Amino acid sequence: MKLTDLFSLQGTLFAIMLVGAFLKKRGIIDENGKKCLSDLCINVVIPCNIFKSCLITLSPGIFRTCGLLLASAVILQGLCLVLNRFLYNRYDPQHKKVLQYCTIVPMSGFLGNPIAEGLYSSVGVLYTSVFLVPMRIIMWSVGPTYFSADLSMPKREVAKKVLTHPCLVAIYLGMLCMVTQFTPPRLITETVRYIGNCNTCLTMFIVGTILADVRFTTIFNRNTLYYCLIRLLALPAAAFVIGAVLSLDNVSHGVSVLMTGMPAGATAAIFAARYDSDAPFATKCVVSSTLLSMLTLPLWGYLVG
């Protein structure tokens, strides 16, 4: 990985992000439009991007690497759950909920694929998809409970929601095609590729609409900076060490560190608003960590490279 490649990629993504912010400011994308774009990305575009990443020639080392990546992701999610027990106890309940959720859910689901694809091509998207499996499970099971202690979703319903998540279904189908080396008809593969190629623009538009909703002068404060220190420096440092211990190769090691060093997940603001928590504070965590990640991601890219 060249440091200039990551700077160039981030510059491009940031430019698209600014377009999204401009569209939101002008009212071309309103709140309903933002929700529509988010649903479209999560349910259609990102799954297609994941599936097309699996349409590669199988090599003996891929499954071993995927297994090691999955192990490192499980360890990191466990670490996040442990840290959430004591890192934010001094904060008021409304802020604590937001910080705990933002610690277990980075923006890897949105930003991950564009960065992985830009740096590592299709194999990067595949590794990213595998690495994010534990995060997606925690996101839809443990995540909502931080915002509402009374939230009691039956375990069967939680399992169904997790296992049938479009991104996981795309992994099931993609891995099946990769193992069997089955190539779907050209009509299907080309349709999936075209839809999957929309991923970068749409995700950056969504992040841009989030940026547009916050006054810049209120973004950075003691609480958001403390969170950014955890999210952007401490956690990727842990991923760096875990990857070294597990002897991950350069690409998988880079994926694990960069995906762990992503900013706060955009869904934090959605959950905070839905469960009457501090949605403005959640938005500030997302925006501040997104802006600072423009500095920290190249740093981690350089170290892991």
User: Residue 268's pLDDT is what?
Assistant: 82
Supply the pLDDT for residue 150: 47
* pLDDT for the residue numbered 85: 92
Tens of pLDDT, residue by residue, the chain (305 residues): 556 666 777 778 788 888 988 999 999 998 888 888 878 887 898 888 888 877 777 677 788 898 999 999 999 999 999 999 999 999 988 899 899 999 998 988 777 777 888 888 878 888 988 898 888 788 777 777 787 654 555 667 766 766 787 877 887 888 788 778 888 899 999 999 899 888 778 877 887 887 787 777 888 899 999 999 999 999 999 999 999 999 999 999 999 999 999 999 877 876 776 666 787 888 889 888 988 998 898 889 888 87
List, in order of start, the domains of the chain with CATH numbers.
3-298 (1.20.1530.20)
Q: What pLDDT score does 126 carry?
A: 85
In this prediction the pTM is 0.78
Closest CA to 49 of 128, 105, 107, 119: 128
Sequence-distant (≥ 6) Cβ neighbours of residue 159 within 8 angstroms: none
What pLDDT is stored for residue 214 in this prediction?
77
Distance CA 1, CA 121 (A): 12
Q: From 182, 202, 170, select the one nearest 266 (Cα to Cα).
A: 202
Quick one: pLDDT at residue 286?
86
Give the amino acid at 96: K
C-alpha dist (Å) from residue 227 to 9, 43, 101, 108: 25, 29, 11, 17
- What is residue 86's predicted lDDT score, i.e. its pLDDT? 92
